[in-house]
Structure formats: C-alpha cells, structure tokens
Structure 1
Amino acid sequence: MKRINIAKCVVLLLIFAFCTTNTFAAGTTLRINGQEFSSGIKTIEGKQYISVDALSSYLEGVSITQENNSIDINSLNRISNVVSKVSPSVVGIIGKLKESSYEYDETSDNIIFGTGVIYRSNGYIITNAHVVKDMESIVVVLSNSKAYKARLKAIDEDLDLAEIKIDKGGLQPATFGDISKVAVGDEVVAIGTPLSFGLRNSATRGIISGMNRSENRQYRFLQTDAAINSGNSGGPLVNMKGEVVGINSWVYAGIGVQSMGFSIPIDTVKYAIDQFERFGKIRRPYLGLVFSDSITSLYGLPNTAEGVTVKSIEKNSPAQKYNIKVDDRLISINGVKINSTTDYNEEMKKYLPGDIAEFKLQRDNREFNITVTFGEK
C-alpha cells in the first residue's frame, strides 16, 4: 500500500495533469517554481511522467522516500534545515577594544564582539571591517564553543570587509550563492551574535526587501527585514538553500524605523576575498576624479539626466593628464552607463591599476570619448 502525504500529493497531481493535457516533444522542459528542468521526464504511450527520484531533487523543502511498496512525501522545516546547514560555518568574534579607539572607555571592560563566516576549511574567515579594525587579541569561537586566537590578514573599510585567520583545519566552509539569482521577496535567514556573546549563532527570518541600495554610501547593499542587531555584523544572510547571499553590515535605527537591515552582496564579498588573497588588500584603480551626485540620485528619484558631474580633480592625479575638466559629465565607462558615484565605484571593481578604459564625457552638450589608464593611489 502506498502512503502519500495529501498536501504534497497535490503537487504530483498537478504535474501529472500538466503532462497529460499537453503533447510534449523529446527534450521537454519542466518548470517547478520557475526553475527549469529537462531530465527525469519520460514519455510512455504518449503521456509524460516524472520519476520520484527526479521529483525529490526538484522540490525544495520536501522529502520523498521509497521503501518496498511505500512512497512517503513529507514537508521539511526549511528554516531549521538552513540554520543546521550554515551554523557550523558561522563564528563568534570577540576581543578587546584598542585604547587608541575613540570608543575606548576607561570605566568599562571594553570587550567588543561580532560575527564571521568561514569560507575556507583551513581557517580563513570573512567579517566586517568595523568588527575587527579596533580589536586587539582577536578570538574566534566556533559553533562547537571551541576558541582560537585569530590574526587580521586584510581589511578594507570602504567595503566594510576584513579577512581574519585561525590556525585550525578541517572546518566547514560556507557555500556562497549567486547574486544574479537573488530577487526581492526571496526568503532569507540572518545568523549572528546579537547583543550578547552568549547569544551567538542566533537566527532571524525575513525576506530580501530591496536590491542595489546605496543609501548615500560608496557601494550597493541588499536590504532585508530579517532582524539584525548589534553583534550580527559580519554574519551571513543566507537563502533557503543555505547559500550565503550577503554579509550583514548595518541597520537603520531610530524612532519609527523597523526592520531595515543592510547586507553586503555576495558578489562584492567574492570580489574582496579575491583581492585579499591576491594582493593582501583592495587594489583600486585611481584617477583622482571627485564627482557630484545629482539631487535625484541622492534622494533615489528617477534620474532623467545622464551621467555624473566632475566636481573636482585631485592635484597631481592621473586625471590631470587627460582632457577632463571640472563640470564635465561622465556618461559611461566602456559602454556602461554611470549615473552616480556609487555606479562609478561599482564599475571600478572590474578594473585594476594599469588597466585601460574608454570614458564617454559630455561638455557643453557635446559628447566625446577619451582613453584613460588607471593609476593607483
């Protein structure tokens, strides 16, 4: 006798009905929750069927087991599965505030803490720059409560990312997601160390509330309504596959403000890790141009004007060698449109000092192109 969970049986019936009311050619594509699959579908006597094994691999949050003549389909607790999968890759970071820090207080113990994510099994951890920049005697506490001394390997305050290292192997690295597959409304979980170090590896649930948020900062962020509190900084924002899609960085706080957290997108995290491992720092291309954002860009209004205005040119900078003047408008770089300082900074992640790019500029309603070679500051 076959035992099939009634709720999940509906899924099977829908698939069967879909297949039997349509004539499919070889190489039929099946879509489940918008994701396309082409394997596991067979045609028998003119009707299409999907195997239980294939269905099991396609449906997230569903467990399908076969035993003798029994097929069991059960819902899984997706949140607990995500937390269980990711938690071994999440660490607490604790240390003492340096006396040189402006936040140092002689009347307190000056203990500060945050969160980090293991990304290599030999002890490499990514976290926020603001977590460790003023921290001495850095200690990392794993999910099994074992503690290890850590050393700072690389840091970049503009990106708010830092790399630290512990001398411990056999760790479980987190799986990084694909930013191109992240969308507003996706369910996410934030894991970290909120408010107290005794609360490390706490999990909160929410959604992706917005994409490409700059909020007058240098780079773009993911917005989420998952609760992020002091101490969550440096922890992961993960999707329902248990993949890290962002590193939690900051929140809006104040009267009337609720659930507005911001995470560094995983593509920026990957960029930083690549630079840290290759150079020990972020090597930015440099021209010495300072831009003035339009009022529409600053307030996030629809921008009808193209480009971003050159406000000033730094003395003795590479830009002085080229036909660039104050009040010129930078329209695009190698064909990519630039409408804000954030756009410019994001585009610069594609280049290294010494690289060449074509700038399209506008002056007195006349457009022209120049070729520039980036320096290094």
Structure 2
Amino acid sequence: MNRCLVCLVVAAATTAHAQSLTPAQVYAKVSPSVWRVSTYDLDGLPLSQGSGVVTAAEAVVTNCHVLKGARQVAVRREKQKLPATLMLWDVQRDVCQLRVPGLAAPAVALADTARFAVGQPVYAIGNPKGLELTMSDGLLSALRKDDAGRLILLQTSAAISGGSSGGGLFDERGALMGLTTLASVKADTQNLNFAIPIDWIRELPARHTKLNAGTAGQAAAVP
C-alpha cells in the first residue's frame, strides 16, 4: 500500500512538472498574443502607448488609462499595425476591450484564480518604454484584497515600467493571470509591481452592460 502511495505521489509530481514550461517556452507560447497599443488624437498625432493581450477572436484587452483621451487607436506588433475600436469598458476597474478586425493572433488561456499561490513563478510580457515584447520574471509576491476579502491586485516582483500597462502577467503554464498595471517609482521602494486579476477580464462584458447602459457602440474615446 505504501509503495502504491509513493508511486501516486511521484506520478502527480511528474505530471505537474510536465505541465510547467521553461521561460523560453512561455515566451514562445504567449508573445504572439501580446501587442503594443498606440493612441492618437483627432489629427492622427501620437498621444500615448501601452500594451494589450489577445483574449478572444479579434479582441485585445488593456488598461483603460492607456486609452484615455484617445480618438484613434491601433494595435501594433513588429511591422504589423491594425486599427482598433473600443467595444467594452469598465473604467472603475481600469479594464477595456478593443475590437481589432483582421487580427489573426491566437487568444491566450485564462488562468484559474483559485490556483494562485504566493511564491509561484510569474512572467510579465509587454512593451515597457516602447521596447516591444519585453519579458521579465519574478514571483507572485502577494494577493492584495479589499476589506470584503475580494482580490483586487496581484503583487509581483516581475519588473514593469511605463508602457507595460495592459500587458500580460502569465503563470508557468502560459496562462494569463492578469494585466500589468502599475509599479512604484518612489525612491524608497523597490520592485513593487502590480497587476489587476484575470477575473476582472472575465467579468468585463457583464459589468460593461451594467455600468454603461445606453452607451454601447461608442468608439475609441474612453469616458
């Protein structure tokens, strides 16, 4: 009986290890789905840039603050540039979804929040300071919750910078855990980086309908 139990434990550990990818494999798997988000004014002049992740056919999610004030939006990757329109938004949670006709990039898998564990390896991929498809690694440092016990931020040691907003925080299987959204830049703090949780992306369609009744169909400009 003990021998059988040992065999089962070893088999389970082997399976879990087999499911994990190397950093290079994570990057190869998900980087085709991470794009740069560029915004422009009415005259087509550049305003700002950030990152976005493909989560469904012709759909890219990003932080709403990346789109603030925009009248035109495009997603870019390497030499490809595609126009985009704002379809869903939840400004309270800083989550927006763009529709990108003709986007052929694959959708990423969405992680299971119940499996998040402080100390697990994580990888951030985005466009910090316009440096396209930059990857950084670290740990899930903490799960930050509100007074009601609801998860509101993933704290990570994976480095992010301006331009990383809307990029992906991925687990060791290449599943999207959340969108990288901010980092502390104060002189007395180090490596405090945060992402909004994946469940906020799952809940976006329902919350958009609830919060923005009567405004569906508006393009590009974020309220």
Query: Percent of pairs identical after alignment?
Result: 26
Any gaps of 5 or more consecutive residues in structure 2?
212-223
How has the CA–CA distance of structure 1 residues 61 and 269 changed in structure 2, closer, same or farther, with 3 Å as cutoff? closer
Aligned to 1:245: 177
Aligned to 2:128: 194
Measured against aligned partners, the alpha-carbon deviations of 1:84-126 in whole angstroms (never above 9, x if no partner) come to 1010111111122579xxxxxxxxx6531000111113x1111
Aligned to 1:125: 60
- Does the 8 Å CA contact 1:214/1:221 hold for their aligned counterparts? no
Q: TM-score, normalised by structure 1?
A: 0.50
- Does the 8 Å CA contact 2:128/2:134 hold for their aligned counterparts? yes
Measured against aligned partners, the alpha-carbon deviations of 1:11-34 in whole angstroms (never above 9, x if no partner) come to xxxxxxxx9xx3438xx87235xx
Instruction: State yes or no: 1:135 paired with 2:70.
Output: yes
- Does the 8 Å CA contact 1:206/1:226 hold for their aligned counterparts? yes
Q: 1:158 aligns with which of 71, 82, 92?
A: 92
- Does the 8 Å CA contact 2:143/2:151 hold for their aligned counterparts? no
Aligned Cα RMSD in Å? 2.8
Measured against aligned partners, the alpha-carbon deviations of 1:238-260 in whole angstroms (never above 9, x if no partner) come to 00100001111122221111111
Any gaps of 5 or more consecutive residues in structure 1?
1-18, 38-54, 63-75, 100-108, 285-377
Aligned to 1:184: 118
Q: Measure, in 2, the Cα distance between the counterparts of 1:89 and 1:195.
A: 19
Aligned to 1:268: 200
Aligned to 1:283: 210
- Does the 8 Å CA contact 1:159/1:219 hold for their aligned counterparts? no
- Does the 8 Å CA contact 2:125/2:167 hold for their aligned counterparts? yes
Aligned to 2:191: 259
- Does the 8 Å CA contact 2:42/2:72 hold for their aligned counterparts? no
Q: Measure, in 2, the Cα distance between the counterparts of 1:85 and 1:79.
A: 10
Choose between structure 1 and 2 for higher RCO, CA contacts under 8 A separated by at least 6 residues.
Answer: 2
Amino acid at match of 1:283: K
Instruction: State yes or no: 1:89 paired with 2:89.
Output: no
Aligned to 1:16: none
How has the CA–CA distance of structure 1 residues 98 and 181 changed in structure 2, closer, same or farther, with 3 Å as cutoff? farther
How has the CA–CA distance of structure 1 residues 97 and 251 changed in structure 2, closer, same or farther, with 3 Å as cutoff? farther
- Does the 8 Å CA contact 2:19/2:173 hold for their aligned counterparts? no
Structure 1 consecutive aligned stretches of length 4 or more whose deviation exceeds 6 Å = none
Larger Rg: 1
| Matched length | 208
